[in-house]
Every structure is written in C-alpha cells, then in structure tokens.
Amino acid sequence: MFSKLDKVEGLLKEVSDLEIVPRFRNLKKGDISFKDGGETVTVADIETEKRLSKLIIDLFPGSYVIGEESFALEPDLLRTINPDHMTWIIDPVDGTNNFAKGVSVFKCMLALVYQGETVAGWIYDPIDQTTLQARAGEGAYLDNKRLSISIPTECKSPECIGTLHTSKDGHSEVVSRIEKNRSKLNVVKTLRCAGADYERLATSKTQFSLYTRLMPWDHLPGVLIHNESGGYSACLDKELYKLDSYTKSGLLLAPNKKIWAEINSVLFSEI
C-alpha cells in the first residue's frame, strides 16, 4: 500500500515548479482573493491543490484527498473521512500571505493519514527546493540528513527559544493566558508560515511552539516530522495531535516531555 511513497517528493517538486514558482512575485490582478473568513487565497493555492490531488489519486488509486481550499468550499469534508482509506491532507501554499506579498517564506505541505494515524509527512520549499519529510517510526530528514533535535536544560534557559501563535478564533481563556505570560519565556517572532516554523523546530533553530489554530493541513506533517526528530508534542488536554484534533484549544511542541510540562505550567498554571 505504501510502496510508492518515495515518488511523492517528486510530485511536490513537479507541481511547485508548474503552479507555484512561476507565479511568485508575478501575481496578476484577480489572482488574489479572500475566503469567507477573510483569509487570503491565490490562484497558486487553487491550481496547486487541483494538480497535486489528481497526481496523488493517479499514483494511489482509491485515495481520499482533502486540501485546505476544497475544505473552504465544503466544510463538512473532514467529517466524511473513511479511516480505512488512505487520506491525503494538502496545504498547497502554506504561508499564502507571505507568497502574495512576495516574501519567500512559504511551503507546500502534505500528510498521509491511515486508520487515524499520520503515516508520512512532507514540507517542501519551492524556492530552495529542499524537503523535510518523515515516516512513522523511520525518523525525519531534511533532504538526506537525518534530524535529531537538541535538548536545552529547561524552558527558561537562554538556549530554549520558541514561538507562540495565537488566533482570533482561538479559545479566549487560552489566548488570554498566552498573552499574559508570554514574557516569561524566550519568545521570538513567528515566520507566518507553519511549515517554516516547523522546520525551525526540527532543525533546532527554535525549541518550542504553541498554536491555538489546529487545522490538520497546518500541523499533521510538522507534528510527525518533529516527533520523528526526537521532539514531544501534545494538545493542551495532553492528548496526542491527530486528524480530528482541530477543535481542541491548543497544541504545544517541545524538545521533550519534561520541558513540555514546564512550558505548560508557565503559561497555564493558573487556569
């Protein structure tokens, strides 16, 4: 069933070269629009998702594919998944606002879920042509280099820096606590691209991240890559992040379970 996974990286490169790269800093009038919730979407998002979906189904017949843009049109898609089907989750252009503004921090992301578990994940950089990828139980790689994250001594040590991502749609009490306590940790700016922030985590450029918006296309690939790099992650209710975790209040990633608990305590001990 999974024998053709080695071909997926080539699909991401092919589609990115055709649909994303030629449009970067070359968007025309009418190529940018907005979804119902106000999020930016470009023609590159739409056409990348269409082409990649077709190529995946051709390579893996019988697969079920859900992309961020198809979900925007059919919000019930995530509730119709058959766990016995290979399900592919696509974020065609992660960091669309950056892409639309001509900022070269964006990714093309893909995850494979089967029987409720994330089997494989890819984060592809169309500009640098680099690939972060992982398969469950087989480690994580940046191109051909196996990744192993560094472990700081504690969450407040100088070598432990990270990002806190709050959303206007997030649980109000959780967001309030994060904003109140963020100064107690060594927080740096986000890259406004989940895939790029996950790359920083997996390559030990940052050590922790907390998210309050948990849509699967933003997190499934990155969570698997982070875990396979040696990190620890869980939702704020201490359950592992999965395809159906998008209704939860937050997701925290850290180098290990000890530092996860320390960060959680710093931010939420009074809840």
Confidence of residue 14 (pLDDT cuts 50, 70, 90): very high
The pLDDT of 2-6, averaged and rounded, is 89
Spatial neighbors of 98 by CB under 8 A, at least 6 apart, are 104, 105, 106, 191, 192, 193
Give the number of other CB atoms < 10 A from CB of residue 28. 8
Confidence of residue 169 (pLDDT cuts 50, 70, 90): confident
The pLDDT of 207-229, averaged and rounded, is 97
Give the number of other CB atoms < 10 A from CB of residue 110. 28
Give the Å distances, CA to CA, from 202 to 39, 134, 195, 228. 27, 11, 10, 9
pLDDT at 270: 62
> Which two tokens mark 219?
């997190």
Confidence of residue 1 (pLDDT cuts 50, 70, 90): low
| Cα 138-141-145 angle, rounded to 5 deg | 120
> Which two tokens mark 155?
């969450």
Kindly provide the b/e burial profile for residues 221-239, where b requires at least 16 CB atoms within 10 angstroms of the residue's own CB.
bbbbbbbbbbbbbbbbeee
Domains and CATH numbers, the chain: 5-146 (3.30.540.10), 162-268 (3.40.190.80)
Give the Å distances, CA to CA, from 216 to 42, 78, 193, 226. 20, 9, 14, 15
Who wins on pLDDT, 270 or 264?
Answer: 264
Confidence of residue 83 (pLDDT cuts 50, 70, 90): confident
pLDDT at 105: 98
Who wins on pLDDT, 36 or 232?
Answer: 232
pLDDT at 75: 85
One-letter amino acid for residue 44 of the chain: A
The pLDDT of 167-180, averaged and rounded, is 86
pLDDT at 81: 87
pLDDT, tens digit (0-9, with 9 covering 90-100), for 147-159: 999 999 999 999 9
Confidence of residue 111 (pLDDT cuts 50, 70, 90): very high
Confidence of residue 230 (pLDDT cuts 50, 70, 90): very high
Average pLDDT of the residues of the chain: 95
| Cα 89-91-97 angle, rounded to 5 deg | 160
- Report the alpha-carbon distance of residue 255 to residue 244 in Å, rounded: 24
Confidence of residue 172 (pLDDT cuts 50, 70, 90): confident
pLDDT at 238: 96
- Asked whether the beta carbons of 218 and 226 are under 8 A apart, the reply is no
**Residues of the chain above pLDDT 90, percent:** 88
| The residue to which tokens 């252009």 are assigned | 93
The pLDDT of 86-97, averaged and rounded, is 97
* Beta pairing class for 208-211 and 162-165: parallel
